[in-house]
Amino acid sequence: MITCFDIGGTAIKSARATSPDDIQALGRVPTPHDDFEAFAAAIGRIAADATGNDHSLIAISLAGVVDSDSGRITCANIPCINGRRLAADLEDVLNRPVLIANDADCFALAEAVAGAGRGHRVVFGAILGSGVGGGIVIDGKILNGVGGFAGEWGHGPISKTLAGNPPVAIPRFACGCGQTGCIDAICSARWLEKLHRHLHGVEASSTEIIDAWTSGDAKAARTIDCHVDILSDALALVVNVVGASIVPVGGGLSNSLPLIGRIDAAVRSRILRKTDEPLVVRAQCRIEPGLIGAGLLGLEQPI
């Protein structure tokens, strides 16, 4: 039995895992932002309540980058763990083995083992929400790259400057990572809103834009056309490079099945491997994929 956690800037969510088919949620507590002792104590209390003081494994899905070489965490929204060798520090405090993975990687693992990616050797899990992220799973194992950045397709100056039919000029927006022209800076939910404002001078939420598009609104249709054109070029390149045969999509934009269908058709028209089978699909692990992924990550470790 292990205790698994999905930790974000707002809450620490937890579960008890005994098998891939038995991962039971335990609840949530607020995330301590500025006090590492309080952060570690919260995890320790939950683990002790779940499994007793048997020094069993803790597996964590974290909204941050885990450097695969040094073990250091980059996590700006939880300052008390930013820059720490978090797994080692928690092991010292809690006297338990600790595994940590990025939340997008855990999402991809959940989909590969328990979701839409079952039966596929190479799964690319894509996040389209407040940011654009992803994770790669090959033969049921997360692919960890140097620096912990494998699967981060949202960052890199590759965004096209002409998009849609007919083509319209699109600026290369500055990204929070410090680069200009990232997919994250144009294709996330927040930046979909900026794209709509750029094209039409109209303020609308991503949900309103998608709802208007599905209702036949011409301006929203133009925005979605450009959005899908930009996103699909980048995602098709990822599929070609990693050889994924399925791309489960999570995040807020995945709630729109028409949008996922549009992206799927566009990506399949751009990749080298031609197939009539769906490639880009809505994720099946809709509830707590981070916890499921963390649980699976821990369960695959030898006892």
Pairing of strands 122-128, 98-102: unpaired
- In the chain, DSSP assigns E strands to 2-7, 11-19, 22-30, 58-62, 65-66, 73-74, 98-102, 122-128, 132-138, 141-142, 162-163, 168-169, 247-250, 280-282
Position 282 scores a pLDDT of 97
pLDDT digits (tens, 9 = 90+) for 138-165: 999 998 876 677 889 999 888 999 999 9
Query: Which amino acid makes up residue 113?
Result: V
Structure tokens at 205: 């939420």
pLDDT digits (tens, 9 = 90+) for 118-140: 999 999 999 999 889 999 999 99
Every domain of the chain and the residues it spans: 2-102+288-299, 116-282
Longest Cα pair distance anywhere in the chain, in angstroms? 64
Structure tokens at 173: 């927006």
Question: Which of 29-38, 51-60, 249-258, 286-295 is predicted with the least confidence, judged by mean pLDDT?
Answer: 51-60
CB 151 within 8 A of CB 124: yes
Residue 213 CA to residue 236 CA, distance in Å, equals: 23
Q: How far is CA 299 from CA 21, 23, 24, in A?
A: 11, 10, 14
CATH fold, domain 2-102+288-299, is Nucleotidyltransferase; domain 5 (3.30.420)
Do 116-282 and 2-102+288-299 have the same topology in CATH?
A: yes
Query: With a threshold of 0.85, does the pTM exceed it?
Result: yes
- pLDDT score of 303 more than 70: no
- For the domain 116-282, what is the CATH code? 3.30.420.40
Query: Which amino acid makes up residue 69?
Result: D
Sign of CA dihedral 18, 136, 277, 164: positive
pLDDT digits (tens, 9 = 90+) for 222-263: 999 999 999 999 999 999 999 999 999 999 999 999 999 999
**Average pLDDT of the residues in 78-89:** 94
Residues with Cβ within 8 Å of 285's Cβ and at least 6 positions away in sequence, in order, are: 107, 110, 111, 114, 115, 250, 292
CB 109 within 8 A of CB 135: yes
